[in-house]
Amino acid sequence: MIRLIYTLLMSALAVFVCYSMTTRAWLQTDLTELLPQSSQDTVLQAAEHAGDAQINSQIILLAGSPRPETAFQTASEIADLWRQSGIFSEVNSQISPDLAQIRQDIGRISLAVLPEAQRRLLTEKPADYFRQRAEDAVNPFAVSPLPLDEDWLGFGRFVAGKINPQTRLQWHPENGMLFNEDNGKTWVWIRAKLSDNTLPQDALGHLFQKTQTLASDRHTEILTGGGALFAAAAKADAEKESRIMGFAGITLTVTLILWVFRSARTFWLLLPSAAGMLAGLAAALAVFGHIHALTLVIGTSLIGMLVDFPLHWLTPSVFSSWQAKPAMKQVLPTFAVSLLITVSGYALLWFTPLPVLQQTAVFSGFSLLGAFGATVCWLPPLFARYQAKPVPFAALSTILGRHIKKQPPPSFRYPATGFLIVFTAVGLWRSNWHDDIRQWVNMPPGLLSQIQKIGTLGGTDFSGQYLVAEAASEDALLLKNAELRRALAPLIRQGKLKGIQSLDQFILSAAEQNRLKQHLRTIADKPENYRALHELGIPEDTLKSALLQAADTPAITLSDGIALPLAQAWKPLYLGEVEPHRYASVIRLNGMTDPETVRKTAETVQGIKWADKRGRLNELFRHTRNQAAWLKLSSYLLAWLLLWRLFGARQGGKILAVPIAAAIGTVAVLGWLGIPVSLFAMFGLLLVSAIGIDYAVYALNAGHSTDARLGGMLLAALTTGISFAILAFSGTPAVAAFGITVGIGVILNLWLAARLMYSVPDTQHPRR
């Protein structure tokens, strides 16, 4: 009856998984999906979300060639290819300005964006300002967007310098493209925006293959950057890595099992692994609606661990007479204890604030439950008539047992013990408990170098460190930006900061505009101030009227100024009214050589906050890692209470000593290898503890001979070790550290559990 219920349940889970995979995006690759909900200030959250949205929705491409005409032609063809793809809502390769609209906007905003030097000259030495204006008016080479009769005062001359703060980019008047020159090569810029928040990663990958082919045919180099590209590459790498590691793990595990048992029937031993993976995937999809690629990569490593139950059950068959159902009844209590303790340890991880740990805990916990059910319900009938063959593994296990059981002489034992103590102590001292978000993803070196070069060509800093200003009004926000710029000015002179970009560099506050207009009224009453223009033949009444008209123009607010097409480059800096009476903006920092000094100096200005997403995440990971460690210590206490209840305090203490010693030894080895104990390494330690309890309970309480028990642990350790050793070759540093940690822990657990087993007389465990 139980077998039927379990079979129906697994069938339902299979249908659910198939339905989920075909009807929704079940695999996530976005790194932000792994991160907890932010508890930081609302203003900082708004800045972070705005930055992420811009990065994830925008793709930049640069086409470069020593021949400018080739670069422009290739960029134009790529832009046409992108528009035809239907992936992007916008592809900006050319700027075709509406001159009439631009002139209107310039006339409207010119006074509000007047540079500081010109404002000072106008207010302190107005005659000098108008003398310069007169010189420009008669200079045939002077460039001005407005004719003289539309801009008597000359304010429009300076708007162009405010439109694009990235002065490295130039506009080609013939084709309307943006470009810049670097080391004899012309780079043409294309910006594209994805049509929605979903990432068409497969289509994007195919499009960029066509783009690369087109550029190669034109002998043009291209550089690309954008969050969607990294996500597409991460998805492709994760799927490829998961397939390779899963295939390698299954192949090596099957090969090992066939070598040990010499029977095709042992293929059924993989059935619990398949059932476990199905149960884990179904649970993750039911709880979270999706599963992250990183969780799936780690989940494939469970294949070796999920086969532990059937191996512990079947391995004694090569050492003595064996029958399926009685053997299952004999090991079932041991399995139940190991399962309860291990799943309880995973359950505690649910209380960590990190979704990746919650996902992995759900996936792993339900995988173990599924594998346990398949082992108990399905395997006994499948092996009802199984007869073991004489195999070399039995002799190998016996020989290994003799070496482990043999006590070395005191002359060797005491120095060896001292060496182990010193080795462990120094390793623990050398251990580096450190996290870095960059270890969580396999950053393709090609894409990484391209985005760095794009930053260099465009003068953009991608460090992820910036400042956020907040104030009670738009005017107060602009004044706060200006105050910050004054505070950071000494650092720019000292070379600790190359420059900053803030909204006050673009537009004046309404109060400053009004003060400037008052000066214009004063100037209008004194014709000697604008005599230089009058000498060109311009009537004084015309000039006075222009001054008074400018003085009477309503002030341009920050939000109105940012809304103009001319202000496209400044829009990302303005966050708007985040909360009632809380206006916020971003201040970009370029070329920091001493971030800590910049942070301390900036925070002396009230209302300024330092934003460092990577640093914040690393601190969050550190906190989560410590929390996970305390939860694991709590699980040790719960495990000891359970073991004490089942086996007594003395034997329960011995069982628990195995995973604790293995975890300490693993940290020591990581210290010697120079591998940081990151959050994922900590999760590996949690798995090491679960494996240690499983081995120790089996070693002391399974009713088999010591050789049979050692054989069961050895085979389980080999299959588990295979899976996690494969992870050590992952291109993602966090996953590799996880695999190395568990691999080391498995070896230590096997040795410690075997030593514990041989320390108990074999007569306590009746032979079958």
Strands 185-194 and 88-92 turn out to be antiparallel
Q: How confident is the model at residue 201 (pLDDT cuts 50, 70, 90)?
A: low
- Note whether residue 602 is domain-resident: no
Task: Tell whether pTM > 0.85.
Answer: no
260 and 217, same structural domain?
A: no
Mean pLDDT of 640-646: 81
410 and 270, same structural domain?
A: yes
452: CB partners within 8 A, 6+ apart: 462
What's the domain count of the chain?
Answer: 3
745 and 665, same structural domain?
A: yes
pLDDT of 12: 94
430 and 321, same structural domain?
A: yes
183 and 69, same structural domain?
A: yes
- Note whether residue 401 is domain-resident: yes
Query: Which among 433, 368, 426, 441 has a CA at the least distance from the CA of 685?
Result: 433
- Note whether residue 123 is domain-resident: yes
- Note whether residue 13 is domain-resident: no
CA distances from 556 to 482, 518, 546 (A): 18, 15, 18
Mean pLDDT of 644-650: 82
User: How far does the chain reach from its first CA to its final CA, in angstroms?
Assistant: 29
Query: Which among 84, 77, 85, 93 has a CA at the least distance from the CA of 214?
Result: 77
Top pLDDT among 13 and 715 is at: 13
pLDDT of 574 above 80: yes
Q: What length does the chain have?
A: 768
Top pLDDT among 761 and 124 is at: 124
245 and 315, same structural domain?
A: yes
Q: How confident is the model at residue 297 (pLDDT cuts 50, 70, 90)?
A: low
pLDDT of 764: 45
Mean pLDDT of 458-462: 66
pLDDT of 181: 85
353 and 394, same structural domain?
A: yes
Do the beta carbons of residue 651 and residue 700 sit within 8 Å? yes
Q: What is the largest CA-CA distance in the chain?
A: 120
CATH number reported for the structural domain that contains residue 718 in this entry:
1.20.1640.10
757: CB partners within 8 A, 6+ apart: 699, 700, 706, 709, 710
- Note whether residue 350 is domain-resident: yes
pLDDT of 348: 75
pLDDT of 376: 92
The 10s digit of each residue's pLDDT in 592-633 is 888 889 999 998 999 899 988 878 878 877 887 787 778 777
What values do phi and psi take at 201, rounded to 5?
-65, -40
**Segment among 370-379, 453-462, 726-735 with least mean pLDDT:** 453-462
> In a 3-state reduction of DSSP, which class is residue 436?
coil
Rg of the Cα atoms in the chain: 35
Top pLDDT among 695 and 34 is at: 695
360 and 283, same structural domain?
A: yes
**Segment among 154-163, 168-177, 263-272 with least mean pLDDT:** 168-177
208 and 265, same structural domain?
A: no
Burial grade of 398 (CB within 10 A; 0-12, 13-18, 19 or more): middle
Mean pLDDT of 342-365: 80
Query: Which among 501, 499, 497 has a CA at the least distance from the CA of 594?
Result: 497
pLDDT of 389 above 80: no
Percent of the chain with pLDDT over 90: 17
The 10s digit of each residue's pLDDT in 415-454 is 888 888 999 999 999 988 877 776 666 666 777 777 777 7
147 and 84, same structural domain?
A: no
> In a 3-state reduction of DSSP, which class is residue 319?
coil
Q: How far apart are CA 592 and CA 589, in angstroms?
A: 7
Q: How confident is the model at residue 765 (pLDDT cuts 50, 70, 90)?
A: very low
pLDDT of 763: 41
Top pLDDT among 341 and 748 is at: 748
pLDDT of 101: 77
- Note whether residue 586 is domain-resident: no
Q: How confident is the model at residue 141 (pLDDT cuts 50, 70, 90)?
A: low
- Note whether residue 587 is domain-resident: no
Place of tokens 């050319």: 94
**Segment among 128-137, 345-354, 479-488, 652-661 with least mean pLDDT:** 345-354
126 and 67, same structural domain?
A: no
- Note whether residue 265 is domain-resident: yes
pLDDT of 768: 36
**Segment among 15-24, 55-64, 143-152, 491-500 with least mean pLDDT:** 143-152
Task: State the residue range of the domain holding 735.
Answer: 232-439+616-764
Strands 574-579 and 465-471 turn out to be unpaired
Q: How far apart are CA 744 and CA 550, in angstroms?
A: 76
pLDDT mean across residues, the chain: 82
pLDDT of 322 above 70: yes
Query: Which among 380, 387, 301, 426 has a CA at the least distance from the CA of 740?
Result: 301
Domain boundary among 194, 209, 225: 225
90 and 112, same structural domain?
A: no
Mean pLDDT of 55-81: 88
CATH number reported for the structural domain that contains residue 65 in this entry:
3.30.70.600
The 10s digit of each residue's pLDDT in 485-530 is 999 999 998 888 888 889 999 999 999 999 999 988 998 888 888 8
